[in-house]
Amino acid sequence: MKTANKTKFRGLDELNVTPLLDLAFTLLVIFFITAAPTVNDLEISLPTASNRSKEPPSKVNYITVDRNGKIYLNAHEVTEEELLRTLVEFRKCSPDLNVVVRADAQIQYQMVVDILDLLVSAKISKVALATEVAKGK
């Protein structure tokens, strides 16, 4: 008959501290890097800047197309030709021209596309389309 093999349980005689030391040194290095004081040991006199205000942002121009298809530039009724001429003049005065296109929801989409084509012809790149937030959403 076979005798049962007695398994010997041995206690942990020594603890492997190498990973713990690696972790401690890593944390120590991170602490030194993040807690480094800023160097302000030299007394210097910094130059001062003028109190001039910045240039105000360029005025936003609104192109509005009403329900009847009439075109308005900043609340003044214009034709498409007048709109193109005026926009080119505005762009010459201010190359950073901003334009917001506001169109009635009931007009044909082609009218909005025609206005956008005019803006491309006038070489105006900063264009936004005005919308409203849908109610109930």
The whole-number average pLDDT for the span 31-39 is 73
3 within some domain: no
- Show the domain range for 100: 60-129
Structural domain includes residue 119: yes
What's the CATH number where 83 sits? 3.30.420.270
Considering the domain boundaries, does residue 6 fall inside one? Answer: no
- Give the pTM: 0.56
Q: How far, in Å, CA of 100 to CA of 129, rounded?
A: 6
Measured between alpha carbons, how far is 24 from 87 in angstroms, rounded to an integer? 68
Residue 17 is assigned to a structural domain of this protein: no
Poorest-pLDDT segment among 39-43, 48-52, 69-73: 39-43
- The structural domain count of the chain equals 1
Which residue matches tokens 């398994």?
Answer: 7
Bridge partners (DSSP) listed for residue 64: 72, 102
Residue 124 covered by a domain: yes
Scan for tokens 């308005």, then name that residue. 72
The tens digit of pLDDT for each residue in 74-106 reads: 888 999 999 999 999 988 888 888 899 988 888
- On whether residue 19 sits in a domain, the answer given is no
40 within some domain: no
Question: In this structure, is residue 8 part of a structural domain?
Answer: no
Q: Where are the alpha helices (DSSP H) in 5-137?
A: 18-34, 80-93, 109-121
